[in-house]
Amino acid sequence: MAESFGTDAERYDRARPRYPAAMVDRIVAGSPGTDVLDVGCGTGIVARQFQAAGCRVLGVEVDARMADLAQQTGIEVEVAAFEAWDPAGREFDAVVAGQAWHWVDPVAGAAKAARVLRPGGRLAAFWNVGEPAPDLTEAFAAVYRRVLPDSPVSLAAARTSDVYSVMTTRAADGIRQAGGFDEPEQWQFDWEHSYTRDEWLDVLPTQGALTRVSPAALAEVLAGVGAAVDAVGGSFPMRYTTVVLTAARTGAT
């Protein structure tokens, strides 16, 4: 699934939500400098936000199609899985991963991050977790249960905290096992974005549970979800929580 997002890289780059500027600023402020390594950089969404904050960014991305689009937008990217990537002696002030760290081995990934971070450098893995109003959440989940009864997309019906707690717990345990970091901490940023029906239907095919379904099943999901949005007036507010699992490299001076 990790290598399925590049099937429509342009849609991914266009439709996927960005991250709060306050989060980017806090990560930069909590790092000793502005050299950033973006793990699983995809099409460069995160990298461009850190560039806009004054950082020098190098991306590492396993999918060449995603990396190519990022390079077209001015991001330097090396194509590799992070665990196998060769840093060639380079060091960074922050290692970040937006919506990507769950694809990385949590222990090997943290150990690699510790190797490439300068003393006091920061590892920050973060996820956007969206939650519409409860009635719309249930309407969406009913579509998924009907069309894709065996799909992990049923998580759409779960509480936000249930969705991200598994990822952050796994990441924190990996950091502790790898060593080389202070005790991990969690930051949270709450924000909201309003979607029209067409905007949300543009997002859905970029989500992992839908990138590999058949065209017929995807069309059925989009029709059902679109009807649910139409039923609430054609648009809806999405409540986002951006959760950051972060730790500083030991040895700060």
Q: Which residue intervals of 103-191 are DSSP H helices?
A: 106-116, 134-147, 160-178
Q: What is the mean pLDDT of each run of 10 residues along the chain (253 residues)?
A: 59 94 98 98 97 98 95 97 96 97 95 97 96 92 88 55 81 96 97 97 85 87 96 96 96 55
Secondary structure class of 90 (helix, strand, coil): coil
CA distances from 249 to 83, 89, 99, 119, 217 (A): 18, 17, 21, 6, 45
Q: For position 165, which CATH number holds?
A: 3.40.50.150
pLDDT in tens, 92-127: 999 999 999 999 999 999 999 999 999 999 999 999
Q: Is residue 148, in this structure, part of any structural domain at all?
A: no
The pLDDT assigned to 150 comes to 77
Q: Is residue 35, in this structure, part of any structural domain at all?
A: yes
Q: Is residue 108, in this structure, part of any structural domain at all?
A: yes
Distance CA 228, CA 133 (A): 12
Q: Is residue 224, in this structure, part of any structural domain at all?
A: no
Q: Is residue 79, in this structure, part of any structural domain at all?
A: yes
The pLDDT assigned to 1 comes to 45
> Residue 170 in contact with residue 102, Cβ under 8 Å?
yes
Q: Is residue 234, in this structure, part of any structural domain at all?
A: no
Domain that holds residue 12: 5-131+159-193+239-248
Q: Is residue 228, in this structure, part of any structural domain at all?
A: no
Q: Is residue 59, in this structure, part of any structural domain at all?
A: yes
Structural domain tally of the chain? 1
The pTM assigned to this predicted structure is: 0.91
